Amino acid sequence: MSYDFELVCELPASPHAVFEAWLSSAGHSAMTGAKAKASNKVGAAYSAWDGYIVGRNLGLDPDQRIVQSWRTTEFAADDPDSTVTIELKPLGAGTRLTLRHVGVPDGQTSYEHGGWREFYFEPMQAYFARRPT
């Protein structure tokens, strides 16, 4: 069994800046504070948080949407990959980021209940707040 959830955050950066940072090894590493290997090509593999997260880019709509397969080292070997969809919408001078995480293995609620906020949203808010616009 698995479950799905949705989270929203606001970032002080344009959708373009968020999209570019998410899909860049240097940008993703800088905005989360942990080593990442990223690509802006559909089908390309990526890893984040020093290899804790791995997956592939499934779909990319520049400055609007990122769809990635997603699994962590905590997934059981027979757990299928989950899917993360990041939607980026302009919000004043910033971005409203809506994250949909689908197919999360049961019992792994930490992603919804703090993980995404603590390890992505909060570091991203700090990163974009200190970057020149």
Span 30-88, pLDDT tens digits: 999 999 999 999 999 999 999 999 999 999 999 999 999 999 999 999 999 999 999 99
- In this prediction the pTM is 0.93
Burial class of residue 25 (count of CB atoms within 10 Å of its CB; 0-12, 13-18, 19+): middle
Query: Which helix (H) or strand (E) is 100 found in, with range?
Result: strand 94-105
* pLDDT at 132 > cutoff 90: no
Q: What tens digit of pLDDT does each residue of 88-106 get?
A: 999 999 999 999 999 999 8
Asked if 46 contacts 37 with a C-beta cutoff of 8 angstroms, the reply is yes
Residue 63 to residue 3: CA distance in whole angstroms: 27
**Helix %, strand %, coil % of the chain (to 5):** 25, 40, 30
**CATH architecture for residues 2-130:** 2-Layer Sandwich (3.30)
Q: Which residues pair with 71 in a beta bridge?
A: 54
In angstroms, the Cα distances linking 68 to 3, 115, 127 are 17, 17, 22
